[in-house]
Amino acid sequence: MRVHPTRQELVELTGAWRGDRFDDGRPRVPDEVLERLREATTEQAWSVLLDNGYPRQFAGGWRQTHPGTILVGRAVTSQFLPHRPDYDAMVVAAGAREGHLEADRQNSWIIESLQEGDVMVTDIFGKVVEGTVIGDNLGTAVATRTRAGAVIDGGIRDFQGLTGLDRVNIFFRDVDPTPIRDVTLAGINIPVRIGGATVLPGDVVLGTPSGLSFIPAHLAERVAEISDDIRVRDVFGKLRLAERAYTSAEIDVPSWAAHIEQDFQQWKRDADPG
């Protein structure tokens, strides 16, 4: 067995993605797309995903270390299972073959694989007591490596220390002072379940005050494009309403009438003649 999939396994797992990849095979959505997605809302992302056949990519009901800080990054997934001695022994042996020598620190194995722009996404089956995947020490390592944050479908500890970290946000279920115990790492960069969503390595994580969206890599640019368009339309619509050029009934509809759409397209060209 392996803790980390091979590059070929990751390429096959995320075969819908046709762009650049990290050395390990994980999709590498461009930084420019990630930056544009910081302006996207949960509802905009959900609408695009729904239209493309992905209605179950949202999970709500989270606490956050930095409410109001938008979380965007590429998912590095991981999963823990309840401890079972024979399985744990196999994981320890596999980890040693892959260079992980601290058998009792399997949560740190995940952090060793993180890069800037990543989001640590960990399924620990909602466990909070003795399910605290990170505290302020490992949280500092996550923040330093990713400059983004983490999603822990379980517990954290050292909450006060974690709230002092800069430029990151960690989504989690609850806080407990106990250390992580009686679990075994099932794998890194494997499919995981977060809430009702299936998350693959390389998905773009969008964390907002509403919750978490897990955007398949091949749809990330489309979500960014639609979000950009909606924001521009909102500016135009509010401008024309303020001018009393159109009524709210004409503007607040899914599709504008042809003459309003023509006006909008001309307004865009005038605003950006280049």
CATH of 7-216 given 3.40.640.10, 3.30.565.10, 3.40.50.150, 3.50.30.40: 3.50.30.40
Strand boundaries in 180-229, DSSP class E: 183-188, 192-194, 197-199, 204-208, 211-215
> CA–CA separation, 109 vs 102, rounded Å?
8
Q: Annotation-wise, does 138 bind a ligand?
A: yes
Predicted pLDDT at 261 = 94
Q: Annotation-wise, does 157 bind a ligand?
A: yes
Structure confidence by residue, pLDDT tens digits, 89-108 = 999 999 999 999 888 899 99
pTM: 0.92
Q: Annotation-wise, does 28 bind a ligand?
A: no
Q: Annotation-wise, does 15 bind a ligand?
A: no
Q: At residue 4, what is the residue type?
A: H
Q: Annotation-wise, does 158 bind a ligand?
A: yes
Work out the mean pLDDT of the chain and round it to a whole number: 96
Structure confidence by residue, pLDDT tens digits, 161-208 = 999 999 899 999 999 999 999 999 999 999 999 999 999 999 999 999
What mean pLDDT do residues 255-264 have? Answer: 94
Domain coordinates of the chain in residue numbers?
7-216, 222-271
Is 274 a residue whose pLDDT tops 70? no
Q: How far is CA 86 from the centre of its chain?
A: 33
What mean pLDDT do residues 145-150 have? Answer: 98
Long-range contacts (CB closer than 8 Å, 24 or more residues apart) made by 86-89: 87/184, 88/184
Structure confidence by residue, pLDDT tens digits, 102-137 = 888 999 999 999 999 999 999 999 999 999 999 999
At residue 40, the 3 state secondary structure works out as coil
> CA–CA separation, 44 vs 226, rounded Å?
7
Tokens describing residue 124: 């620990």
Predicted pLDDT at 273 = 60
Q: Pick from 143, 141, 137: which is nearest to 157 by CA?
A: 137
At residue 13, the 3 state secondary structure works out as helix
pLDDT band at 18 (very low <50, low <70, confident <90, very high): very high
Structure confidence by residue, pLDDT tens digits, 33-52 = 999 999 999 999 999 999 99
In the chain the first and final C-alpha atoms are separated, in Å, by 55
Tokens describing residue 63: 């606490």
Tokens describing residue 168: 């990151």
Predicted pLDDT at 170 = 98
Tokens describing residue 68: 């109001």
Q: Residue 99, by phi and psi: left (phi above 0), alpha (psi -120 to 50) or beta?
A: left
State what percent of residues in the chain have pLDDT above 90. 95
Give the β-pairing of 183-188 and 197-199.
unpaired
